[in-house]
Structure 1
Amino acid sequence: MTSVRYIAIFIIFIVYHSSVQSQEGSGKFCIDAEPLCGSGLFFYPNTSGFNLAENGPDYGCLFLALNPAWFYFQIDQPGDIQLQIEQSTVLGNIPDLDVDFILFGPFTDPRSPCISDLNADKIKDCSFEVDFVEYVNLANTIAGEYYLLLITNFSLDSGFITVTQTAGEATTNCILVEEPIVMESQACTDVIQTLNASTANATHYQWYQEDDEGNFIEIYSEGTAFLDVSHEGIYKAEARNTSNVVIEHYQFNFSFLDSSPLEINAEVVSNTFIEENNIEVTILDDSNDIYDYSIDDGPWQQESIFNNVSMGEHQISVMNSTGCRIGSTRITVMDYPLYFTPNGDGFNDTWAITGQDDLQATVAIFDRYGKLIKQILPNSSGWDGTYNGTQMPTSDYWFIVSYIEPRDGLRKQFQAHFTLKR
């Protein structure tokens, strides 16, 4: 170990370049440690200059932790493991730059130890030798354990650091450096969405949510494969086996769909009293979408026209392709009943034209000889089958309705007959 090295405090921010296997060596702080896969080889461009490691951890033998790069790895197959760390000015050339390291562990996860658990009791290996090649030795590892490795560039010069597993039957969990399975998940606003990370051979799961600073914070989820979410954001899940080894990991990009109400219009597109009643629905919206239509909570259809609609008030509903945007309106179809039975049983006891108020219509009822029996004004309850308090007999009666046609705004008249049944 070297006897004298100098100390200075000078902190700057460094921007790193990318390298193989997704590691960039950009984890300047423990909490930002990158996953390390030691079953093969990887390299990254070092941090040069005079950058001190964060305060807090016990750096053991490291007299000065310069130009730090934090990594973590999880043991997959248990046993001994040896990692070779070397640093060179030119990638692939003979090592020629001083490199040091310290290894902490074991831990149950790679993040929580960064807060307060990097102390002397957790140091497993450390070197501050003036060497261009260092060896990390770790014996008797157990599957599922995590370790934190800090690599420093004491030389201050720019170059490349290479890490290789050179000995030992133990392996690290390389799934940690693979790209996660990305899933896009969407739901209507204010609807709880269940994320599903089910994985074969997994016994429990660990969930994380990205915070405002881009860090992933663990979520308590009872270890299940499912997570109910009600807030937009990025979520991650780790599927683990009985040894607590991560066997798959996922990323869920969750967002809300547009759930604003649809503005719609419905109108009768057939001539009143003359044709069967047809209703056409129009979407008062700029979005280019596919819509389904329903009348009176009936089955959905893709056609925007409802044919042969019965008289009376109807509810028209429209839903977009995601099912999140829904609009509804009510419309009254004006028509007249062919008969009524004023017998006091509560059914068809009066005769009236449905929608009379909307059409500003007045109705005059005559007997078969042309005698005016009743005049029905807007807002009237209809004719109860009497004339001057006397019940009129079963017969056909005629009516003339004067109304404003909704389709063109013109005042028109319509004449027809209906039956009073006793």
Structure 2
Amino acid sequence: MRTLCIAICCLFFFYFKATAQNSPDCRTAIPVCADAPISGITDGGGDIDDFDPDVIRQSGCLEKGSVSSANLENNSAWYVFRAGTDGQIGFDIEALPVNPGGVVTAEWDFALYGPFDQTSGQNFCGLVGDGTAQPIRCNYEYNDTGFTGIGVNPIDGRVGAPFVRGSQNTYDEWLDVTAGEIYYLFINNYNTNFDGDPESFTLTFTGSSVDADQNSALDCTLRDEFLGLDIIACEGDPDIVLSALNSPAGSDIGSVEWTVDYDDDGTIDDTLTGTGPFGAELVVSSPNSGRYFVEITTASGTPPTVVDNGGILITFYGEPVLDDVVIVDLETSDISDPYDVEFVPQGDGDYEYAINGGEFQDDPIFLDVPPGLNTVIVNDKNGCGTLEQDFLVVGYPKFFTPNGDSFHDTWNVQGIERLSDATIYIFDRYGKLLKQLDDATGWDGTFNGRDLPSSDYWFRLEYDQDDQGVLVARSVRRHFSLVR
């Protein structure tokens, strides 16, 4: 038996809906800078997990093709850069020969996503992978000069055109950036290579900001965060592979040590074993949240050690689950006034809430929720799922008037018929039991056949929690008024 004063609220589970998984390649994108051309190479495989082929069939100008093994992503590479100054940025992607005969077979496409605010706490690659974030520049056309990019084609001086979804640009117009903005660049050879043979390209940044100072146009300190930006993932997502191979040490690796601070409280909790060459890769499985660090000892001793001092914070979020529901304000006087309700989720995910088909809000408190059956939707903004539940607000009149006019002549808990083995005990202000109600008949304001005077009265509600294990909205003890 569970006892509760005043109004209660019961939750009935309705359904849970999962969303697309977070993008594994995107979230381990290689940090790059504008100080030199970047040599890229892909082996034909790609990883289609960035775009679920059953969910995302188009992103900007990119689309899933007719080849059964094709997807938005094949034979691809991901890069991330951070604007160092306000100004103009572009880039050239040049297809390179893959054999001594100088034959170029690759047909490179690209999509550029952003700008993202690094301080926002958003799951950038989750937004890319589930289609929420669309490219702001994109190319899916035949590159007749072997070049594609943003800005001006260096072969024929062709100036990039305004980006329009479905356009036939090989070059898009310049990108105006603000210092601190984060961009993800997806380079893809969708059209030509399904045999696994390596194909290469160079990526060169251009634009007035680069011309002014290529060392500051893009924030080169991002390369010191060579483990990548912090990662938000969902419980049950594929393993995350961290790599120390993109560090400033390059190939000059003698040994690698991985450590982790699981609570992100400044205390190292464990030393971990890496995999791959020199143990330079670390596999992080769900749900092992924590801040991961790496220390590289170089083979040459110059410099002797390389460390990503900030580490990388990996946070796994679970699907939304409601732990409790609380009625937070019953200070109302009208008999039909609704209630203020707070939803209390389990865990510390980034949630938004909506009730009864209304707009989503970040605040879990809703004002003026009517008594009766309602619906709440809890959405994890990191893409880790959506929970929809029906919930019942069981209210009570704040007063009643037993004067025989057929209006508010009796008092009872509204919705008592939905509760299992519910009993209401009514008391006067001194705690004397006046009435016990077991059904929806209600109380007529009498005791042993005598009319009781106008005053405030109290009640206690007891009931059995039903077989569905419903949650109960807690409330404080209140009273109601008898008015004659």
TM-score by length of 1: 0.37
| Bigger relative contact order, structure 1 or 2 (CA pairs below 8 A, ≥6 apart) | 2
The structure number with the bigger radius of gyration is: 1
TM-score by length of 2: 0.33
